[in-house]
Chains A and B, each alone.
Chain A
């Protein structure tokens, strides 16, 4: 399914209503060797994602022979501005997370305004990162882990589905035997990564740029 994707570049969809910011993020992403598509609104983003929403849902089959076309369109990460007219970045994030075919795509939010409640709200809704604008090349280094995680998640999905089925069966068996003595709550691994992301984003190093840090090297 995603096997040929190892050779091709990651594809990032960038959403921003500001033309200068679009040009900038495009350059930043290309400099980091990502394939880039830019759109100027949340609705255009959904349209772009929706174009191959059908393709993605039909690609559950292990055969890769027909995937060449929509593999080029496959989006590995969405980076979106927060403040946009009509559909905000937050609205877009929600829509993506509500979609069964799109919710596994990592989403990053950008904003020129440092509003802690805004940041927490986005992270709670499932955004992986929150970047303050203007975005720096160093910020982009934080993108790759999320894209890698999503790729390996897809590849392991089929394997794990089988293993989970087996586990559920054996757990049921165990519980039946132990009856009322143990009350267990199942762990939620996804919560940990969100907390970590929140801590990372509220850490002081991502505040206003300090000029002593800027150096241009010939």
Chain B
């Protein structure tokens, strides 16, 4: 049962729709001085990168839900929530490290922290972090210190990986918008 948590996701089909790049003016310059073609390339790069995050299991559908909540009244919503996640999680990871270093480890306390992290990662769609937390909680329940310490390493690894991915994602989005392009929205058409 535990293996299934780390199985690679099935091949999913993606469709990205874009409203900016129009086929009939590929070489006209826009206000920012970049060509339609460059913006198109940037869009494609962003789409491919985003796709890879889903394919590799870093993100799940909940992240799309988050993106859908973003609107003109709150255009930085996703970045705000994800940044909050980074801050909150780093604190939790520090607390976990300390808690597991104690002479007498309080597994209930450890579990409470992992539960928090599991909740947050689930809420933003950070699937691999969430899955690592699920395994971690099992070891907490068993009061297996070695298992817990291995899990903490695993969770940390997944956290820093996804943090890196998010940073790249946001940078690509920023660059695209600065170049005058619009961010295509993702649609998962089959899974």
Contact = CB atoms under 8 A, between A and B. Distances in A.
B43 interface: no
Contact of B120 (A21, A85, A209, A212): A21
B122 A28 contact: no
Q: Which of B69, B71, B184 has the most CB of A within 10 A?
A: B69
Contacts of B61: 209, 211, 214
- Chain B at the A interface: SS class: helix
Interface residues of B, number: 37
A216 B84 contact: no
- Chain A at the B interface: SS class: loop
A112 B190 CA distance: 25
Interface residues of A, number: 26
Contacts of B17: 218
Given A27-B74, A214-B64, A218-B17, A20 B120 contact: yes
A214 B187 CA distance: 7
A70 interface: no
Contacts of B71: 31
Contact of A18 (B66, B120, B184, B190): B120
Interface stretch (B25-33, B97-105, B111-119, B163-171): B111-119
Given A23-B84, A112-B122, A83 B67 contact: no
Interface of A: 17-21, 23-24, 27-28, 31, 83, 85, 112, 133-134, 136-137, 209-212, 214-218
